[in-house]
Every structure is written in structure tokens, then in C-alpha cells.
Amino acid sequence: MRYSRQRELIHEVIKATNTHPTANWIYKQARKKLANISLGTVYRNLDQLTDAGMINVITEGNMSRYDWNVIPHQHLRCSVCGKMSDIEIPDGEIKEKIKQNHQFDVEKVEMIFVGTCSDHN
């Protein structure tokens, strides 16, 4: 994967937010710095950055969301405002139980807790 200004910019955009943005949001931000970057380029680089382990992708729902935080963690999604926030859940014990009870080797854990965030009391 050789250097490109576009990929660096896309990575910077993702690193600058905690909102778990969509590809289109990243595209719009990137265009502010590089007026004619294309949406295809954004998608291609998001895939490459994901494959390289430099970002994470969250595939729940009808649109993928991207995350600069590659340390394993899980998410709370508010069904009222749509905000997605981080939560740490230790999953070593769960993985071990799944291995024992189902003979299933867990590589990746995806938990989404849908509910109402503290902004709506």
C-alpha cells in the first residue's frame, strides 16, 4: 500500500472524530481539504485502512460506520438521537465459554446495545 494524500486525509478525518462516521460523512469532510476527491476513493481507502488494521468498521444497520479506535471495544447506539458511543466489555470469558460449549473459535466480537442515552431523561 503506497502513500497517497487522499488516504492520509481520510485517515485524519476519521481520527478527528468520535462520532463513528459513515463513508459519506467522511467524504464530505475530506472534500473540504481536497475539493475533488471521489467517493469511490473514500470507499477504496476505507477498505484498505480496515484491511491494514488501521481503522475498524461497524456493520450493524444499513450503513457501515468507521472507527479510528482499533482497540477491541463495543458500542451503545441511542435509538432516539442515533449517537454511537464506546463501551468496554471484557469478552475473554465469553470467548472461552463459546469455545468450550460450541467448538467455535471467536475471532471478532460485535456487540451493539440499542437503547436510550442519558440525553433523554
Binding site for DNA (CB under 7 A): 1-7, 22-24, 34, 36-41, 43-45, 47-48, 62-64
34 binds, among DNA, Zn ion, a copy of itself, none (CB under 5 to 8 A by kind): DNA
* Pick from 101, 97, 76, 99: nearest CA to 86: 76
Grid cell, residue 71, equals 482497540
What lies within 8 Å, CB to CB, of 6 at 6+ separation is 30, 34, 37, 41, 45
- Binding piece for a copy of itself, criterion CB under 8 A, among 4-12, 36-44, 65-73, 83-91: 83-91
What three-state secondary structure class fits 45? Answer: helix
80 binds, among Mn ion, a copy of itself, Zn ion, none (CB under 5 to 8 A by kind): Zn ion
Shortest Å, Cβ 5 to a copy of itself: 29
Indicate the residue among 47 and 86 with the shorter CB distance to Mn ion: 86
The DSSP letter of residue 22 is B
**How far apart are the C-alpha atoms of 110 and 121, rounded to whole Å?**
27
- Binding piece for a copy of itself, criterion CB under 8 A, among 15-23, 26-34, 41-49, 92-100: 92-100
The DSSP letter of residue 18 is S
CA 36, distance to chain mean position in Å, is 24
Of the candidates 16, 70, 81, 94, which one interacts with a copy of itself according to CB under 8 A? 94
By CB under 5 A, name the binding residues for Mn ion. 67, 69, 86
